[in-house]
Amino acid sequence: MKLIAASVHSTGATAENAQNILAIANTEDPRSVSLAGVTRIDLHFPKFTDGRAYSQAFLLRRRLGFTGEIRATGDVLIDQLVQMERTGFDVAVLREDQNVDFAQRQFDRYRGFYQGDAVTVKPVFAREGATA
C-alpha cells in the first residue's frame, strides 16, 4: 500500500485527469455510479470510527471488479492501514498527525493472513494446496 502524508496530498483534479478521478461519498452506493473511464476512486473517512468506506472498497474490488486505484482520505490513522489494504485500498492519505515511517511499520507486523480478503480471495490453505 502506498502511503501519502496529508501535507503533500493533492486531489489530483487537474484538467487532464479530472474526469478519471471519482470521489464517492460514504453515504453513496458504489453500484449506483458509472465507473467507465475511472482510474482512481477516493473514498472518505469523515471519522476514523466510520467504517462505511471499508464496505465500499470491498464492494468495488470484489463485486464490481474495479481494478484502478482506491484511495482512502480523511481521518485515516495508522491503526486502520492493514484493514484498508485487505478490503481493497491501494493508497492511504494519512491524517496530519500521523507519521508515514511509523505507518509503514504496520505492514511489517502482519506479513500474512489465514483468511481471504478483497485482494487475495483464497484462504491460505487453498493457496498452499493443503488437503484435508
pLDDT, tens digit, 9 for 90 and up, residues 72-121: 999 999 999 999 998 999 999 999 999 999 998 888 877 777 687 887 77
The C-alpha atoms of residue 80 and residue 13 are separated, in whole angstroms, by: 26
Please tell me the predicted confidence (pLDDT) of residue 55. Answer: 95
The C-alpha atoms of residue 93 and residue 88 are separated, in whole angstroms, by: 15
The residue ranges of every structural domain in the chain are 2-9+16-127
Is residue 42's pLDDT more than 80? yes
What is the β-pairing status of strands 69-74 and 91-94?
A: parallel
The C-alpha atoms of residue 23 and residue 70 are separated, in whole angstroms, by: 10
| Architecture of the domain spanning 2-9+16-127 | Alpha-Beta Barrel (3.20)
Lowest-pLDDT range, 14-18, 40-44, 46-50? 14-18
Phi, psi of 88 (to 5 degrees): 120, -5
Please tell me the predicted confidence (pLDDT) of residue 10. Answer: 64
Q: Place 35 in a pLDDT band, splitting at 50, 70 and 90.
A: very high
